[in-house]
Structure 1
Amino acid sequence: MYQQPLHPVAGSLALSAACAALPLITLFVLLGVVRTRAWVAAFGALGVAVALAWWLWRMPLSQTLLAAGQGATFALFPLVWTFGTAIWIHRLTVHTGHFDALRQGFARISDDRRVQALVIAFCFGSLLEALAGQGTPVAVTTVMLLALGFTPVRAATVALAANTVPAAFGPLGLPITTLAGVTGLPATELGMMAGRQVPVIALVVPLVLLVVVDGARGVRELWRPALACGGAFAVAQFATANWLTAALADITAAFAGIGALLLVTRLPAARRRVPVAVGGGSPPPEPTPARERQWRAYAPYLTIVVVFAVSQLPAVKQLLDAGTLAVSWPGLHVLTASGAPSALTTFRFAWLAAPGSLLLVAGLVTVALLRVPVRQAVRLYGLTLFELRWAVLTVVGLLALSFTMNAAGHTATLGVWMAGAGGLFAVLSPVLGWLGVALTGSDTSSNSLFGALQVAAAQRAGLDPVLLAAANASGGTLGKMISLQNLTIAAAAVGLNGREGELLRRMFGWSVGLLALMCLLVGLQATPLLSWMVP
């Protein structure tokens, strides 16, 4: 049995936190400065984490390796299972020639790629995050943007920038219910509080997307449609989280955003202002595809939405959840610093309810709709996994790193050190959520790691625990765009394997800038100036 120490280095919390940060520093330096391949950076950081866990944290080497093995297994299932299957569905449309019809169909929504980025990456991606999560929005929207003529780098950066604000509530409120479970606070109040933080960022993200696609000119020419989209998204997200349920916040927001965007861009005055496609040249006009062919081009993505929506019906969800196996990872016995059994050692094998399994169902329906021979479909799946081999290796290394740091107590040490800021912690609390998501790729995982810590820090500092717990989820959304998991998925989807560091450098400034805005908002909500926003 291993119990996590909080300050193993000379009894100093500050020194221990500095050492605990070394694997993360190694990861970002190798990836962003030395510019090694992503899998090299991941395994290099993993080596540092294992050495620290064994040498300074005194975690038995066998336990350390078991934790890394659990993370590697989690990487394969459900993560690789999810994004590998999503990319396979895309390859089916390419193989059958329906992808061109899909591109033409989306081009008819608008011939301006900036509007297409808002429709696909922000609105449709939010819907996918609400239904599936786990990298599915990035995998799907990246290849859709690529089909519309976006360059690989631009398609990846747009998808990453858009996959932010939906993460606080998706899939179907799971991050909020997880946060309620680990903190003991009411899920309703946590959802309401997050619904009074995240929508502020939702107003800004469409403008960020315009800059990513077309620089300052994009904002100058399309700020009205972007604000209409972000405003409708924010209002719907706020209203749903506060007066209905957090589980539906992203779904209503996605439809509200796309509705407002299409309404504004179709006004006669707006159409005169919006120029034709930008950002890399426009393909020549093509004949309208036959109605049946056009329907089949949309069918894979409509099927994904339908399958995930049906999976959330109470009777179906209960049936799928019945197949979930929750087991303690063999040989891994970890206690938290307080002496309680750690939930990190439990592995959930949701072989029916996993997003990858649901995507497989959608893929099989796609095979039938597109009339792809079974042998070719199987061969395409094998080729897809082979082409993703470096991405798979990267994700395995990253999740092994994450699980090792979490099990050894590195993450807890960093969190407790940050919580020592006292009243200033209100400003820093979103950073903790941001760090958790950047490391794990999941707002749900970040909430399970740091939710209880946020509440304990709030109580010690005399701050509202609902405010800081929700800030963990809200700040975590801004770590999605630099999550190594999402960076790897985006790079793999558009054939940029080995260039994850380039994507990180492009996204890091946006992530930190939006995080600063969130920290300012939460800090003000902890003062009389905006304390009325706390439920």
Structure 2
Amino acid sequence: MHWVQIYNPFGNMLVSFLVACIPIVYFFWALAIKKMKGYLAGLSTVLIALIESVLVYKMPVLLAVRATLFGAVQGLWPIGWIIITALFLYQLTVASGHFTIIQDSIASITQDRRLQALLIAFSFGAFLEGTAGYGAPVAIAAGLLIGLGFNPFYAAGLCLIANTAPVAFGAVGIPILTAAQVSGLDAHALSQMVGRQVPIVSMFVPFWLIFIMAGWKKTIEVLPAILVCGLSFAGVQFFTSNFMGPELPDIASSILSIVAMVAFLKVWKPKSTFRFKDERSVVSPGLGINEQAATIEAVKHHSFKELFIAWSPFVTLIVIISLWGGVTAFKTLLAKATFLLPVPGLNLVIEKAQPIVSQLTPYEAIFKFDILGATGTAILVVCILSKFLLGMSWKIWFATLGKTLKELIIPLTMIVSVIGFAYIENYSGMSATLGLGLASTGAAFPFVSPLIGWLGVFLTGSDTSSNALFSNLQKITGHQIGVDPTLLVASNSSGGVTAKMISPQSIAVATAATGQVGKEGSLFMFTFKHSLLLVAIIGIISLLQAYVLQWMIP
């Protein structure tokens, strides 16, 4: 049995587009207005998408069910696996009692919440995105912020927004490499083009992050640190993406950003130490500024051995993740335990049609079960090593694992449902209808192009998946309207990064990592307006590069 996707089921693109929007609009309503719990919103959205795929798109029932179940399994592996192990690692540092030492060591660099957010949510989170991707940056960085005293909801929101800058080059450049493979364009040229868009956002995000936290006046107060953080990150991101390729920008820029920030904070301090409303805003010593009963909390100092042991899980994480994702010989060895399992009754049964592809193309459905190569497995290795590094008993280790699994049951249910929703959207052709509808905007398409990538990441939770879904559409539309396809395919990826903060998958990870399960709707509304602002910025950049700044296109 073979089934060919239909992209215009009503024979009118506008009507088909509006009907294809129904599941997404419902999901927005369920989360943002109805304030429905995340897993209920996800499950009910899947049901609506399933019904529409069968009744409107004439997708055979068995194919629709198989596609949804395939997505659900992907939600557990590799995505759920990363979330479990990342949260488990954080919980181990807490259960062992060593997290207080980590708190003290960060506080010795700065007690200011604004600067802590830059260091951890932005710079350290970018490193995790560059090496691991998926949910690891939000899960681990948000956990660290909570341990430092951040409000859990704020920690989740800030980490989601901070995770914008590195996503296009995440997981050692996989999104760019995927876009090149799907579109047939040169990977280095795409890396250069994205590297002439995203660094502008990378300079803006640190400022915006602090502005959200503290308002205009308190943001200007730490502007020197924001500039050091943003310019060091964006500068290296631009250089590496343009002259070295898509694999290194996140890793190199995040490391240099952390080093630059730490070095700068050794010689510079803000005039006041910012805390949230339920904390005290205090004055740094020696600056001659008086505030009522304002004092700096004493920071407990620890020996090098204590600091080394406390930080050893995260140092080990950096080493293991870099080994897992960056050493070709090691990746080849791990790949021997990778199994590619075609999904029975789904693999190569559905065919993609024009104009999404140039000719009928069978849609693969292959489950990649990378037992050793998965990022979650790398983090599990770190968790096992941490048992010995932190001097924990197996009893406490397993008890912490059990506690972590118990806390993640409901969040994993949401993740399974939203990935199932993403897959039925893709395999039924609904997501292609949405892309084609937006692609019919003519000369304004360069502005809309990033919005297609934004939509793809919202649906799939992944810039890689969005590029796989829409890169060829971007290329074809570029040829039709006379705009360089390299720009539009790159804009798909650049626009996609701004939706990472609102994708249901990311929201589920954030609420799970911060104990905010049930507040998915509130977190979605917190990040949504920022997502729209950033995708509009990318849209303007893309439009200018298409018609005014064409010299920026490689």
Scaled by the length of structure 2, the TM-score of the pair is 0.93
**CA–CA separation in structure 2 for the residues paired with 1:381 and 1:306:** 22
Q: What is the distance in 2 between the residues matched to 1:224 and 1:510?
A: 23
Q: Does 1:323 align with 2:337?
A: yes
In the aligned structure 2, how far is the partner of 1:240 from the partner of 1:286?
38
Map of 1:231 onto structure 2: 231
1:298 partner amino acid = W
Aligned residues: 530
Who is 1:437 aligned against? 457
**Unaligned 5+ runs, structure 2:** 281-295
Work out which of the residue numbers 347, 361, 371 in structure 2 matches 1:351: 371
Q: Deviations over 1:34-87 (max 9, x none)?
A: 101001111111111000000010001111010010010000001110011110
Amino acid at match of 1:41: A
Which letter maps to 1:373? S
Paired with 1:264 and 1:285, the residues of 2 have a C-alpha distance of 21
How many percent of aligned residue pairs carry the same amino acid? Answer: 35
Cα drift, residue 343 of structure 1: 4.0
Pick the aligned partner of 2:531 from 479, 496, 511: 511
Distance 2:94 2:217 in 1: 33
Give the counterpart letter for 1:7 in structure 2: N
Distance apart, 1:375 and its partner CA: 3.3
Match of 1:394 in 2: 414
Q: How far does residue 120 in structure 1 lie from its aligned partner after superposition?
A: 0.6
- Name the counterpart of 1:526: 546
Match of 2:500, SS state, is helix
- Comparing 26-35 with 217-226, which one deviates more in the overlay? 217-226
1:65-116 CA distance string (max 9 Å, x none): 1001001000000111001111011111111111111111111111111111
- CA 500–342 in structure 1, closer or farther in 2 if over 3 Å, else same: farther
One-letter amino acid of the structure 2 residue matched with residue 182 of structure 1:
V
Tell me if structure 2 keeps the 8 A contact 1:344–1:407.
no
The yes-or-no answer on 1:485 pairing with 2:498 is: no
Q: For 1:59 and 1:385, locate their aligned partners in 2 and report how far apart those are by CA, in whole Å.
A: 36
Give 1:43-62 correspondences, 5 Å limit: 43-62=43-62
Q: Over residues 399-420 of structure 1, what are the superposed CA-to-partner deviations in whole Å (9 max), with x where a residue is unaligned? A: 0100001000000111111111
The Cα of 1:162 is off from its aligned counterpart by: 0.6
Which residue identity lines up with residue 67 of structure 2 in the other structure? A
CA-CA distance at 1:344 after TM superposition? 4.6
| Partner residue, 2:93 | 93
2:351 is aligned with 1:335: yes
Aligned to 1:304: 317
Structure 1 partner of 2:130: 130
The superposition leaves residues 340-378 of structure 1 with CA deviations (integer Å, 9 ceiling, x where unpaired) of 344451221122111111111111111111122223322
Alpha-carbon distance in structure 1 between the residues aligned to 2:360 and 2:298: 64
Single out whichever of 249-258 and 449-458 deviates more from structure 2: 249-258
Change (3 A) 1:134 1:342: farther
C-alpha separation between the residues in 2 aligned to 1:215 and 1:334? 51
**CA distance in 2 between partners of 1:406 and 1:5 (Å):** 12
Question: Partner of 1:285 in structure 2?
Answer: 298
Superposed CA offset, 1:146-183 (max 9, x none):
01111111111111111011000111111011011000
Taking the aligned partners of 2:541 and 2:508, their CA distance within structure 1 comes to 31
Q: How far apart in 2 are the matches of 1:318 and 1:441?
A: 27
Return 5+ residue gaps in structure 1 as ranges.
none
State the AA in 1 paired with 2:45: A
Amino acid in the other structure paired with 2:207: L
Structure 1 residues 174-219: Cα deviation after superposition (integer angstroms, max 9, x where no partner): 1011011000001000000000000000010001110222122331
Aligned-pair CA distance for 1:265: 3.1
Number of the residue aligned with 2:394:
374
Corresponding residue of 1:216: 216
Residue 32 of structure 1, CA deviation? 0.3
In the alignment, structure 1 residue 183 sits paired with structure 2 residue 183: yes
Structure 1 residues 477-523: Cα deviation after superposition (integer angstroms, max 9, x where no partner): 10111111111111111111000111111111111011111100000
Query: Contact 1:327–1:348 at 8 Å: present in 2 too?
Result: yes
**Matched letter for residue 59 of structure 2:** M
With the length of structure 1 as denominator, give the TM-score of the two structures: 0.97
Specify the code of the residue in structure 1 equivalent to 2:279.
Answer: G
Q: Could you tell me how far apart the structure 2 residues matched to 1:298 and 1:410 are? A: 46
- 52-61 or 212-221, which deviates more: 212-221
> Runs of at least 4 residues of structure 1 off by over 6 A?
none
Which deviates more from structure 2 when the two are superposed, residues 55-64 or residues 336-345?
Answer: 336-345
Q: 2:292 maps to what in 1?
A: none
- Residue 41 of structure 1: aligned partner: 41
Moved more, 177-186 or 341-350: 341-350
Whole-Å separation in 2 of the counterparts to 1:77 and 1:199: 32
